[in-house]
Structure 1
């Protein structure tokens, strides 16, 4: 029985990030710190944020008018709870952000504060006749299109709880209608993970007749994303989204794209129809649609669509009210900037009659001229980043040099929707560099450098030791207040690099950690990009308070795991094979999923794990036979030892020793590794 339990524990580790990790010692807070230890904005940061007010057209209030247009109803107390009674969504927590976004505290970039205020505007909105949106119930929007025979739901949010609340609120305001179709615009979980929040309210007849429509490749992309490198991506996403930060003027205020991701019960529903051809025309619940495939832009599986009778264009996430990511800080495959730009131009021309634009995030836009200008500027922003990065590449600039040189032209810089609230021109330029040239900048010094800890120790030793470094860094931190805003920001960025070396050389040195945390505070306060703010302030928080001790709740992923391609589990296992332990091993293990009548042969040789689907009579050293539902129940903790011990759905035959050996070769990443300390 120990073998059985270990099998499923390790299979679980192959699919999800782990749960537990220790915390480092916390630091003493300064007298003016907030409850999490974040320090006050320095005079240099105050000057930098005030200077930005002259660089953007803050007097233009049109976005606030557009974001409120069509508001039908709003919940005054928008808090959403999970089954255990924990709050998983709380719009009330952001009430400290003033409604007009004009009174940014010293600890927030005023442009990001403005975006946060706009994203605070929530409720049920009428976009145009027969098209409604629920905004502020999750990171993304849910759209309802009223058809001749019932509703069409577009992008049912991230988790069951938020989708259910939004759906019931819409029914209360608009009246109940049958749901005829659900549309997933793309393969990111904030646009499909809440689908059960809709399904649970439908009748048997509605479920039987329901059309679920998605772009080609959706099944694979939606269920496989993050599985292979899930432990690392989940940990990094916590930084990007500021998951462990308190909601506070010195900490989390939003994510630019919306407020924050909801963490509740994720769900999944396989599509009944896939759109696999460009400009596919369909009628859904009596409503004509024209679909534009844009896969490979913001998501690997994505479409936009146009409603000709409404003259309304849904841009999905091809375009948003911010510059998006060509590379996302949580870690992902780099996106193609040139392809992205071409898709936007194609939509601009193909749907030029559009009088309404709406999307998966943010607020709509009305008027043909306004929509054309918006799409043109978004198109040109991605192409500018692409073209100018490649131009500088061909002049021999490195990725870092390009990121510190490239600037949008004034004609693009003035549009708020082009600002780096989510992506930035700096890290997007690096993404273009990576897309074409990869990680190597051609300088031999960067070809095979020492590990970070070794480099840090050598630097600190040559600079006279860590105490001397911290004394000098403290003086530079104070002197930054006497310089101009650009010099001060450069000083903070330099001190972040210097003090990172100090902390990596001696992670127990409290003064070095405390000063680095103060530097990260200031960089976070100055950041116009919410993910940059989240990264900097999460780093400061962990330097002071240690890492989180709890990760993803596995039960939340149960529905998605049930629909994950089985091969993804085995691919994930292969990247966890410990090469040193497997050096002298040769093994053949067969895994049979009895309810699916599928059999997979796993082989270990040359420190490599291969898998392939085989016939039932394929011989192996050992066989594990199990049903997929029981496998998933064990993975998420819904089936314990007694369930598996007496279950007829699981059996092990052959060499138990080989099974035990095989399991011992697999690493068990906990997904909460160190980031700001070695």
Structure 2
């Protein structure tokens, strides 16, 4: 019972004390830096940062209530990372100067600020192997020193990318997981893959009549957004009507031929929609531009 009560106390304390300090004007980073737990919770083995951390959770609580903006006007319209890094490195005297200052902070044991400096050096000059190797070394040391595995993995994956380039993870959700989604969830997954700028000038409407679910879904592509309406009651002109099962929908999304289904209208409309979807690519950069 003590375990359960301490878990209750831990999350209540994290939440309530974050809001207390938030209401005093502290930012998420400021709260996380100085946040301490009561002695009983601090010394409980199950409250340690074996997954996540107090610092990480406090910043998440802050963001839940106030979002990304920390209240400082300069945060409203910052340059994106590469443009910001180029300017910082220019002010500091170029990449060699940044590398020299970063080493001073490494030697002083301030790996956190050394990583901050080297991050700018890498973004300002992505081809600098010296800058990338220096940052990789700092990330490796930070990773080995991190108590919780999520931080450790981020640091070490960053070091790997700097040394070896991007290594796409073996991400494969598999047909079983896809089949477990509802049809509404399947259409939601399509909506977040629509390339809005390309799709904005190509409106279309498809009505999907599912015989096994006794349900109809109307999807409308309008202004680059794919909107779904369940069991629509209004009559509108549609470009294509498909009569199918959920299993057949899964086949279509895997490259099946709509001509094999009962349909009215132009089956080429489905091809137009699918051609406007981005392909999933888990191999994106994390610590390089």
Is TM > 0.5 for Structure 1 vs Structure 2? yes
Shift of 1:635: 5.2
Shift of 1:513: 0.8
Shift of 1:669: 3.1
- Written as runs of structure 1 = structure 2, the 5 A alignment for 1:92-491 is 372-477=1-106, 479-480=107-108, 488=109, 491=110
| Aligned equivalent of 2:134 | 515
In the alignment, is residue 566 of structure 1 matched against residue 183 of structure 2? yes
| Aligned equivalent of 2:247 | 629
Shift of 1:666: 2.4
Task: Pick the aligned partner of 2:167 from 544, 548, 552.
Answer: 548
CA 1:669–1:514: 2 relative to 1, 3 Å = same
Task: Pick the aligned partner of 1:669 from 267, 272, 280.
Answer: 280
Task: Pick the aligned partner of 1:492 from 105, 108, 111.
Answer: 111
Q: Kindly indicate whether structure 1 or structure 2 has the higher relative contact order, using CA contacts under 8 Å at least 6 residues apart.
A: 1
In the alignment, is residue 650 of structure 1 matched against residue 268 of structure 2? no
Which consecutive unaligned segments of at least 5 residues does structure 2 have? none
Name the stretch that deviates more: 530-539 or 567-576.
Answer: 567-576
Deviations 1:449-479, CA, capped at 9 Å, x for gaps: 11111111111121111122123323432x2
CA 1:652–1:527: 2 relative to 1, 3 Å = same
**C-alpha contact 2:52 2:151 (8 A) present in aligned 1:** no
Distance 2:199 2:267 in 1: 17
**C-alpha contact 1:627 1:649 (8 A) present in aligned 2:** no
Deviations 1:530-577, CA, capped at 9 Å, x for gaps: 1111111111112112222453234xx323322311111112222222
Distance 2:242 2:96 in 1: 57
Task: Pick the aligned partner of 2:150 from 513, 519, 531.
Answer: 531
Distance 1:542 1:652 in 2: 48
Shift of 1:615: 6.3
Shift of 1:420: 0.9
Q: Residue 604 of structure 1: SS of its match in structure 2?
A: strand
| Aligned equivalent of 1:368 | none
Q: Residue 407 of structure 1: SS of its match in structure 2?
A: coil
| Aligned equivalent of 2:209 | 592
Distance 2:45 2:204 in 1: 58
| Aligned equivalent of 1:197 | none
| Aligned equivalent of 2:193 | 576
Which consecutive unaligned segments of at least 5 residues does structure 1 have? 1-371, 481-487
- Number of aligned positions between the proteins: 288
**C-alpha contact 1:385 1:429 (8 A) present in aligned 2:** yes
**C-alpha contact 1:525 1:533 (8 A) present in aligned 2:** yes
In the alignment, is residue 603 of structure 1 matched against residue 220 of structure 2? yes
**C-alpha contact 1:524 1:533 (8 A) present in aligned 2:** yes
Distance 2:284 2:18 in 1: 33
Distance 1:459 1:402 in 2: 26
CA 1:524–1:549: 2 relative to 1, 3 Å = closer
**C-alpha contact 2:105 2:113 (8 A) present in aligned 1:** no
Q: Residue 592 of structure 1: SS of its match in structure 2?
A: strand
Q: Residue 241 of structure 2: SS of its match in structure 1?
A: strand
Shift of 1:634: 6.2
Distance 2:260 2:212 in 1: 9
Superposed CA RMSD: 2.5
Q: Which has the higher strand share?
A: 1
| Structure 1 length-normalised TM | 0.40
**C-alpha contact 1:576 1:667 (8 A) present in aligned 2:** yes
CA 1:503–1:651: 2 relative to 1, 3 Å = farther
Distance 2:68 2:35 in 1: 19
Distance 1:504 1:652 in 2: 52
**C-alpha contact 1:577 1:607 (8 A) present in aligned 2:** yes
Q: Which has the higher helix share?
A: 2
**C-alpha contact 2:102 2:115 (8 A) present in aligned 1:** no
Distance 1:511 1:545 in 2: 14
- Written as runs of structure 1 = structure 2, the 5 A alignment for 1:61-72 is none
| Structure 2 length-normalised TM | 0.89
Q: Residue 674 of structure 1: SS of its match in structure 2?
A: coil
**C-alpha contact 2:218 2:232 (8 A) present in aligned 1:** no
CA 1:465–1:648: 2 relative to 1, 3 Å = closer
Shift of 1:510: 0.6
Q: Residue 199 of structure 2: SS of its match in structure 1?
A: coil
* Deviant stretches of 4+, over 6 Å: 615-618
Q: Residue 25 of structure 2: SS of its match in structure 1?
A: coil
Deviations 1:331-368, CA, capped at 9 Å, x for gaps: xxxxxxxxxxxxxxxxxxxxxxxxxxxxxxxxxxxxxx
**C-alpha contact 2:221 2:227 (8 A) present in aligned 1:** yes
